[in-house]
Structure 1
């Protein structure tokens, strides 16, 4: 409180001396003047935190002085001394905030000291409030700047995400997903591939070898996201390189599915093991002239074969491990006959391992039931209906796992 200055203004010297005697032990700084003009001179040269002025003074009365103080020094707390005769003039000044309080004469010393201390406390309270408001303004300003920067960052991130999704879409379309050759005859093929995330590890390809023969490959890399997608794209490209021998990427001699898998495994298994990745692949060759399916299963879910003649499904499964699972693996292929209107379905485990809210798996049995019930539907509608069935089963529109299904209907 020693840093607080209180200014007392009264045109009667006896009143000022009485105030000085009464306040001699008060801990704040005190100034005493006998006119409004002298009070303003002091306030122009030093800080005054509380001013106590007599009401009735010559030249400039107390209200006029305090009105000037309010205008020039609005933070100074203003009190007025007055007899009851002036109450009617003072009350409006209190109501308009020109003075903090009026003190009636004659003065009671103890009550007067308390009133001045209350005024000092009021000043300090306002000072704390102003400092708090200033801090809030600075904090709000910083917050507004931070929000602006956040908006800029969100905008930049949105642009980056859009660009990333465009790149991911190109990776998916160009490197992971194949196209159904238009020149194929004697079969109807439909493939639907969808990633649980922006990118996944599922991949497929259809290779037209000659008018009566084509290959269909479906694979799945352990994991999701960009890393799995890149491993999937690399695995797929190794199969295509192993198939295409000779200049210009043309097929000089048709390599068997088992030999293809063996060559790819020899080329990349060591690197996949180092990266802690592996890829399940099923590679199927369709000889339409011989009505023969030859396939190698590298740890992938078994091929589903729907036989139109009996209306029953069976699974065509091999015994090989995934590519990159072990370094030493001998791949074995198997052959199966198919007939007109049969369905050969290659798929990923995102179908059979889909979970209901109760934790029940769609499973191979659910898949068989779906195919046998809907075998009459054309392949393109069949894969779409399967996707919707999985969504209904899981009660989730967004996939839990990557979804790939390739349906070949024999003509």
Structure 2
């Protein structure tokens, strides 16, 4: 089923070089049989012409807050009522700052406030602007109300390399589709975990090389955070041990922030007492530098040799030390996913493992995922690709079913 068919999609475009990608985004939405209208800021019109987007969308482009051709001159209200979805791509640092402040000083920001439709934001900016604490603070606040898609890492128009590139149009379409029909009414969620204490790890770890550099991975933490929110909605007391992420979590969830694998193990060991279920969704670095430099390392000839040592295995250590704990692992693999996941399940003495393939455009830093779930008693359950928020509930449903089989008097 085409989830975008007959949807009214309002595409908002702000003033960045990535605005040229918006033309392809509009084309893809139209190809999916959606109705598309476009709103441009003044800055956006410096990068791409309204005429181009009018031709692609089949509708006049909107840019004026008070439209004399609209009913009662209130074009922004008509547009706000019309839209089923707002997709802002690109969203500049300036636009997100104004959105975070609740400003309505142009048509696009006014539409965000005037519409009750879901808002999807695809950030695009210089890598340093994206990394700036003010931008990260704005993104964290906006993520409480809206869907944030990206940005991606790579070479930028200015010549810099890093996070800040807008996602490709097809990736944005896929992310939008992944959120449709996935809204969870938590008041209707069965309280299957009422009275249970659930410990969850999420995100990457950072292993320092020197005072300014570290080893890490591409995990965004989205899956672990979604599981934490879902477990809380299902009645559990939740403790979330998180590596560095750009995500926020509900106030009723206890969050413990760490950076390194050793810090994560220490936090898990401290929190695991009296826990009923441990879900290790974090992507923990396997290795760390044997000796961390106290000063910034300088170039030395043509290469650099780093001596690494293995980090503690948090999942195996916790599982073996707590045999009564129901332990769920995650296996993110680029190949032979089921084979490697089965090995981890047995080797680490787990009750269950959630396996997924990662790589380019798969798993990490996406809003959707597809997983296979393997249990210690030989069950193999495949869940189709879906939004991670919905996937979290489906995973927890299976955890509860398996937990009940193994501990029939516990739930």
Quickly name the TM-score band, shorter chain normalised: under 0.3
TM (norm. structure 2) is: 0.26
Larger helix fraction of residues: 1
Rg (Cα) greater in structure: 1
